[in-house]
Amino acid sequence: MVRPVIEVCANSAASCVAAEQGGAARVELCAGIPEGGTTPSYGEMVTARRAIGIRMNVIIRPRGGDFLYTPAEIQTMLLDIEAAKAAGADGVVFGCLKADGTIDAERNRELKQAAGSLSTTFHRAFDVCRDPFEALEQIIALGFDRILTSGQEATAPQGAELIARLVERAAGRIVIMPGCGVNENNVAELARRTGAQEFHMSARHRVEGGMEYRNERVSMGGTVTVEEFARDITDPERVARSIEALRHV
């Protein structure tokens, strides 16, 4: 029997450490979680790599929003892939689309070639592409190792039917990894419904910051309300409970 894999979406080096403590097999290191994940700094990559012994993938996404990138943004992504390599990453995570919602094979191929021997995951750009089955075949042809997907729904449990069809259609040619809304309470049922063997989750909890003086009139997000005096970090116990739940599938 294949042992299920838990990948933790880690928003910091500290979350990477917590993910390893909980038993995760791999982390995806990201910044900008409220935007769906953006490329972390080189310093964060190096700090995380030095702190953990499990596999570390790095998201290569220069901004939030859509996945139609300008030539300048592609250049940024190519340089960020080189930074991830230099930092000791095991893999990179990216995805480019055309304006019509199809896979941009040329751009993805360019980034894939830059990644070289690193593992490559096509991220949730897949969830906003026009035809998931056509996209599946193109991504396989490009040589990606896995697709991260919520089944083109708001959460993976909601998209479980499509995820199951993708797992069946992929037939072992690529890993289909459910992500978004996956947690210790639903991962076992998601595994049963989809047949997936890898799962992507954040498993975070809120931690109060250490500031004693707090000016709560000011928001660093301007007109966007954000929590200034607390942060989210991966909870090793939530990771461990997810792994335990999968042992009974």
pLDDT at site 180: 97
pTM of the model: 0.92
* In contact, 190 and 178? CB cutoff 8 Å: yes
pLDDT at site 219: 73
CA distance linking residue 57 with residue 78, whole number of Å: 15
Instruction: State which residues of the chain have pLDDT below 50.
Output: 1
Question: Which domains are seen in the chain, by residue range?
Answer: 5-246 (3.20.20.380)
The candidate with the shortest Cα–Cα distance to 141, out of 88, 105, 100, 89, is: 105
pLDDT at site 218: 74
pLDDT at site 1: 47
| Run of H or E residues at 6 | strand 5-10
User: Alpha carbon 100 to chain centroid distance?
Assistant: 24
